[in-house]
Structure 1
Amino acid sequence: MSRRKLCVVTGTRAEYGLLYHLMKEIQEDTDLQLQIIVTGMHLSPEFGLTYRSIEQDGFAIDEKIEMLLSSDTSVGIATSVGIGTIGFAQAYERLRPDMVVLLGDRFEILAAAQAAMIARIPIAHLHGGETTEGVIDESIRHAVTKMSHLHFVAANEYRNRVIQLGENPDRVFNVGAIGLDNIRKLPLLNKEAFEKSIDFVLSKPSFLITYHPVTLQKNHSESAMLELLQALDHFSDATCIFTKPNADMGGRVICEMIDRYVEDNSSRCVSFTSLGQLRYISALQHVDAVIGNSSSGIIEVPFFHKGTVNIGDRQKGRIRAESVIDCVEQKDSIISAIRQALSSEFQEKLQSMESPYGKEYVSAKVKNVLKEVSLDNLLHKTFFDIED
């Protein structure tokens, strides 16, 4: 009997970090064959050629699909989706997977999903049902849900939303947030080892900062990032670790502003295109607060009982723990939120705060469903109507 071929697609460093333990679970199961397609930022020198990290982790990459253009305009992103769709169609024809595994809501995933749908390959989708009202990812995520056949969600509210979109409840599994496996399984670096790994010493307070473009708002990235940097000026004793944004519309101007800010504040600031999962997760346990608009601040950070200053609307709609402090993209609002995160009262409350995403052995649960589900009639979908 031939092994079931599960094709995992990854286009960014963050997404790969979330998928890592699932890929290991598949790789180590003798009844399964892991196929890997890398695309997007993984293949870009500008973003650190992070496909090399995948290979260093012991994975064999089956296909590399070049689709990321140098432009981060709306035309450039749309063209990238078109190029990616062609590349995925050709890759699927060569690999002939039994199922494609996709995570999230980026434009690379849209290309991968629509090519698989047309090729009549079942799609398993992770982290559907979530809402992020400030970005185009919102629409992409729900579109991929409708193209998919199995759904692995991070919370019961998200499961209900996927069902509300017409998906059969028997195919929607609330397994929790898959990225939390990293926190439980990675041998994290202690503070001294972490500082050595980034050649930078943390002082009090210390911040980890990741700010992505809010892609539904035109010409917004520069002004919003300027407000954030001006807010950081009010904490002149703080050490800051910046991780640069993904390849989204408006991302390059943010990278340029980070570079200038770090150059002007080199004694207390450092930036990275990619920290990698080990250093990034290790950073979460050593900094005093996480600042920006990354989903990590909503999902992973609460497990370290650290405060998240969540700026703007990019993560609007996601379930959040009480450790998340929301603020608008204005200097004074950001300053106030950071002060709250550092306050002794808030720090004391953090110790008893709980995350809504906590489930154990997420990767193993997902792998078992992928392994055991019958492929017969999996492509056939009937719209599930919710009774009044």
Structure 2
Amino acid sequence: MIHILERPEQLDPLMDALCSQPPLTLDQRLDLLEAWREAIVADDAAINVPGALFLNLWLRRSNLQSVLKRELGAEELTGGWSDAEGVKTRWFPVGVVAHWPAGNIEIQPILSLTTAFLGGNRSVVRVSPSLLRSVEPLLAVLDRFEGGQEILSRSLFVSFDRQAQSIHSRMASLVDGAMIWGGHEAVMNLRSLPFPPLAKLAVFGPRYSAVLMDAGAWAEEKVRTAWCRRLARDLWPFEQQACSSPQPIFVQRSESLDEQLILDSLQEALEREAAIHPREQLDPALTSEIVRSRARWLMADPEHAARFPSTPEWTLLIGEGYELVKGGRILTLQFVDQLEDALKRLDRNAQTLGLAMADREEALRIAEQAGCQGIDRIVPVGRMHVYDSPWDGHPLVCSMMRQVRFIAG
């Protein structure tokens, strides 16, 4: 199902076969994605791929219908044209979409593909060699339900070395749009490929996420415990390598509350999550980086403190500043007098703001300020990884579609 490429010319016959497939109706596409979701849930190997539960939420027919209605309008769900003052408009696919998912998020090739498929596009997906073992079980289930081949015939999965520039270039030259995910170097390299002049690009570059907690959210033990456990659950998926993974935490001080209360609750939540989902393996280089991060933090400032177990399972750093270590399960916690102070410390690379707030009016004010500052997602803590549209400021489906204007003569 995944073609291993060594030369650029191997792409040509595969792309010819892909482009020969006829279009599917929207109802057919929704039915196929719902059937794929059910097949993943029913298969032990597929549902145990890291992140598969988030894929399950994304592929629900009701969720995808909501996304389409929000992005394209209610008329699109019935296959009709929108009509406003005699001008009709309708969304159509761009054609063939190339996908370059990041190499560290197991379900991202499928998330990216299904977004374009939902818009009626055919896709060619480059799967990083490091993700082959994770993606294969998700594709294998397509053989187990009627219609699975309809998805496969419109989806070309390829894998090749990231240094194979000639294959990257050939792939880019043959498509009408592209969805690019990854770090700074990867994104800059892919954006320089020889795409056709009219190709549409949606770029999801390197970002990080933060958490804001107001004083009301940790005033009572029961509420404090719930928020901390939700935060710990957001830390664990994707080994903290996703752009939506929390890293710095900003907690509003309260004169009536001992700061140790929130630290104790968060430590309990992290210990609890580690017991439920212990690390199965850890790269030695990452272990060394975690240890160095702990040491750097404690040596940098006598006011700094830290809590962590004897293993590299998780780390909580307390004080001014923060350490960004992808995959380290490292949280930095700072106390602030006002949450606006916290926003000022975030740059435009911040993607998601997880809110743990008792004051809803204050939450709305914070959201407006965060939006002006460049943050694209503001969600409750516990939902930081839920894939939905828009993402990174992009409407996911219509970013790979064209809006056609029709005026009757």
**TM-score, normalized by length of structure 2?**
0.34
Q: Which has the larger radius of gyration?
A: 2
Of structures 1 and 2, the one scoring higher in RCO (CA 8 A, sep 6+) is: 2
Structure with the largest fraction of strand: 2
**TM-score, normalized by length of structure 1?**
0.36
